Copies of this chain bind each other. A is one copy, B any other.
Amino acid sequence: MRIVFHGEDTAPFADGFAALLAGPAEIALLPAALSAEADRRTYAAAQVVVANRFGADVPAPRGLRLLHAPAAGTDGLRLDAVPPGAAVCNCFGHEGAIAEYVMAALLARCVPLADADARLRRGDWAYQSGDPARAHRELSEMTLGLCGFGHVGKAIAAGARAFGMRVVVANRTPPAASPLFDRAFGLDDPAFWSAADAIVVSLPLGDGTRGLVGAAALGAMRADAIILNVGRGPVIDEAALYEALRERRIGGAVIDTWYRYPSASEPGPLPSALPFHELTNVVMTPHMSGWTKGTIDRRRRLIARNVQRLAAGEDLENVILPKRG
């Protein structure tokens, strides 16, 4: 099997890949640019391409049998350029990491470890047991709202349930009743937004979700509730979020997905044109929630499994476009 990892961002998955295959394979890691003739020839001969971008600049390999995104998002793949003999698959495997990130952020709000530590180092026993005024909060007293109930939402629900949280969900397709949640709402039901102490947005970005969380949704939230975004930045309206935080109309935010990202011309931008970085009621992280060694390992193993299945003529996992010829 001739396998090409195309683009520098696929390198983490190429590393150690050969060892996961039972049979022999020719594995090449090619730069995104393909400026060398040899690289273009290798690309053109690929039977498997692992890439986040496909079909825009380079002709598709004629003998392609599998195009595999090493991520969940496939908006960089031009599916109309995929030869009919090739299937297209994507990867999950980040949902456990994102659930850990979300629970870390929620627990950090309940258990004031950093403040308690700073105080005790100077002999201040704030938070000590005995006086009810010093008691901290428990997750088990709280309701979690999940805006989006796919792989990620379900993994977060499982974590929340382990701590006895009440869970409500909002999803386009009403989910089947499950022990993972107590109540389901439609995505456009305003009652969802007032039903939770913390709301996690894990929706993908699409025509129906851009700006879906706007002034109305934020305005319906409880005054002390927080919102977390681990989906895509623009699902939450940028200006509406900034205003809700600046005017302290909600309890706070934990934002991992943003409105501006580093680029070659601007490697270290602030993540929004609005001064979120001047606010004290937001935790700002750089699109890191799913990025763990565990995620990389799980994705690398899934891609290898699919290559093995392809070689054996078996059904592939995570197919988003089957082969058509």
Q: Determine if A206 is an interface residue (Cβ-Cβ < 8 Å).
A: no
Query: Are B135 and A296 closer than 8 Å at their CB atoms?
Result: yes
Q: Determine if A140 is an interface residue (Cβ-Cβ < 8 Å).
A: yes
Q: Report Cα–Cα, A139/B12, bound state, in Å.
A: 20
Most B CB atoms within 10 A — which of A163, A285, A290? A285
B residues near A56, Cβ cutoff 8 Å? none
Q: Determine if A191 is an interface residue (Cβ-Cβ < 8 Å).
A: no
Q: Determine if A293 is an interface residue (Cβ-Cβ < 8 Å).
A: yes
Q: Determine if A277 is an interface residue (Cβ-Cβ < 8 Å).
A: yes
Contact stretch, chosen from A74-82, A121-129, A231-239 = A121-129
Query: Are B287 and A113 closer than 8 Å at their CB atoms?
Result: no
Bitwise, A93-111 to B at CB < 8 A (1) or not (0) is 0001101110111011011
> How many chain copies?
2
B residues near A123, Cβ cutoff 8 Å? 268-270
Contact of A129 among B111, B137, B158, B287 (CB under 8 A): B287
Q: Determine if A311 is an interface residue (Cβ-Cβ < 8 Å).
A: no
Considering only CB atoms, which chain B residue lies closest to A161 in the complex?
B162
Bitwise, A1-21 to B at CB < 8 A (1) or not (0) is 000000001011001000000
Contact of A285 among B11, B105, B117, B296 (CB under 8 A): B117
Q: Determine if A271 is an interface residue (Cβ-Cβ < 8 Å).
A: yes
Q: Determine if A132 is an interface residue (Cβ-Cβ < 8 Å).
A: yes
Contact of A293 among B130, B141, B291 (CB under 8 A): B141
Considering only CB atoms, which chain B residue lies closest to A270 in the complex?
B123
Considering only CB atoms, which chain B residue lies closest to A121 in the complex?
B277
Query: Are B277 and A140 closer than 8 Å at their CB atoms?
Result: no
Query: Are B116 and A107 closer than 8 Å at their CB atoms?
Result: no
Q: Determine if A138 is an interface residue (Cβ-Cβ < 8 Å).
A: yes
Q: Determine if A120 is an interface residue (Cβ-Cβ < 8 Å).
A: yes
B residues near A135, Cβ cutoff 8 Å? 291-293, 295-296
Query: Are A12 and B132 closer than 8 Å at their CB atoms?
Result: yes
Q: Report Cα–Cα, A302/B312, bound state, in Å.
A: 61
A residues 122-159 touching B (CB-CB < 8 Å): 122-132, 134-141, 158-159
Query: Are A96 and B286 closer than 8 Å at their CB atoms?
Result: no
B residues near A120, Cβ cutoff 8 Å? 271, 277, 284-286
Q: Determine if A59 is an interface residue (Cβ-Cβ < 8 Å).
A: no
Q: Determine if A22 is an interface residue (Cβ-Cβ < 8 Å).
A: no
A residues 274-316 touching B (CB-CB < 8 Å): 277, 283-288, 290-296
B residues near A121, Cβ cutoff 8 Å? 270, 277, 284
Query: Are B104 and A110 closer than 8 Å at their CB atoms?
Result: yes
B residues near A323, Cβ cutoff 8 Å? none
Query: Are B291 and A128 closer than 8 Å at their CB atoms?
Result: yes
Q: Determine if A164 is an interface residue (Cβ-Cβ < 8 Å).
A: yes
* 11 sampled A-B residue pairs with Cβ under 8 A: A100-B163, A103-B103, A103-B163, A113-B283, A116-B285, A120-B286, A121-B284, A125-B286, A125-B287, A158-B162, A159-B162
Given A107-B107, A127-B291, 9 new contacts (CB under 8 A): A96-B164, A100-B107, A103-B107, A104-B110, A128-B287, A128-B291, A136-B292, A137-B292, A141-B293
